[in-house]
Amino acid sequence: DAGVIQSPRHEVTEMGQEVTLRCKPISGHNSLFWYRQTMMRGLELLIYFNNNVPIDDSGMPEDRFSAKMPNASFSTLKIQPSEPRDSAVYFCASSRARWIGNSPLHFGNGTRLTVT
Amino acid sequence: KNEVEQSPQNLTAQEGEFITINCSYSVGISALHWLQQHPGGGIVSLFMLSSGKKKHGRLIATINIQEKHSSLHITASHPRDSAVYICAVSKGANFGNEKLTFGTGTRLTIIP
């Protein structure tokens, strides 16, 4: 089992540029979550999908953020235009079950985003 | 006040010591999770529990639903246990089972 795979591991970009983060969940997992981690706010849920359908995007901070899951094995988180305050580590996680009380989360290694 | 509170925020101990990290929460939950984040940044799910006690190797997690409290214990601690330990809760059915609410983490350092 390869685990949850995120790319890139590190991204440095200039303010105003578009940033795309990628995630491949564990095969057979039907829930996918995008989290953001900062020193100030810790881990925060941005959006999650169940069976490729976005269920709750209330954590997405602004319209500059968008996420897609075109199929069961791939998801993207896009920031356009990026701003310095978007600098954080972005984690993707997947789970076999929609209900987090029933199945543990498996996290990717994260993408460290720096916007200058 | 945060819905999930952890203590202590930082903990330094000598190798071999028994470690306890505490987590208190203020909402109804369906499960509580303990996560481990190593200095490299990766996050690993250690335990998911809704009652009682679970053990995995030198790690033990307990939860008291009535008191809304959980503890993570590490026996015979080792420098490789140095990490940030994060408590997270998934709320009851009325509040959205899908979401995790995270504590701010406890940074554990084990000195050889």
H or E element that contains A21: strand A19-24
Q: Note the pLDDT of residue B75.
A: 97
pLDDT at A91 over 70: yes
Contact A109 B41 (CB under 8 A): yes
Using a CB–CB cutoff of 8 Å, tell me whether B57 touches chain A.
no
Q: Note the pLDDT of residue B95.
A: 41
| Residue B71 pLDDT grade (very low, low, confident, very high; cuts 50, 70, 90) | very high
**What whole-number distance in Å separates Cα of residue B79 and Cα of residue B68?**
30
Neighbours of A100 (CB within 10 A): 26
**SS3 of B67-105:** CCEEEEEECCCCHHHCEEEEEEEEECHHHCCCCEEECCC
Q: Note the pLDDT of residue B40.
A: 78
pLDDT at A83 over 60: yes
Mean pLDDT calculated for residue range A2-8:
94
Using a CB–CB cutoff of 8 Å, tell me whether B6 touches chain A.
no
- B96 to chain A: which residues are within 8 Å by CB? 56
For chain A, the average pLDDT equals 92
A103, B32 Cβ separation under 8 angstroms: no
**What whole-number distance in Å separates Cα of residue B46 and Cα of residue B56?**
8
| Residue B23 pLDDT grade (very low, low, confident, very high; cuts 50, 70, 90) | very high
Nearest CA in chain A to B2: A41
Listed residue (B21, B20, B13) closest to B78, CA to CA? B13
Across the interface, which of A42, A43, A101 has its CB nearest the CB of B97?
A101
The DSSP bridge partners found for residue B24 are B5, B69
CA distance A98 to chain B (A): 6
pLDDT at B96 over 50: no
**What whole-number distance in Å separates Cα of residue A71 and Cα of residue B86?**
31
- B103 to chain A: which residues are within 8 Å by CB? 42
- A55 to chain B: which residues are within 8 Å by CB? 98
**What whole-number distance in Å separates Cα of residue A64 and Cα of residue A83?**
9
Residue recorded with tokens 């809704």: B50
pLDDT at A17 over 90: yes
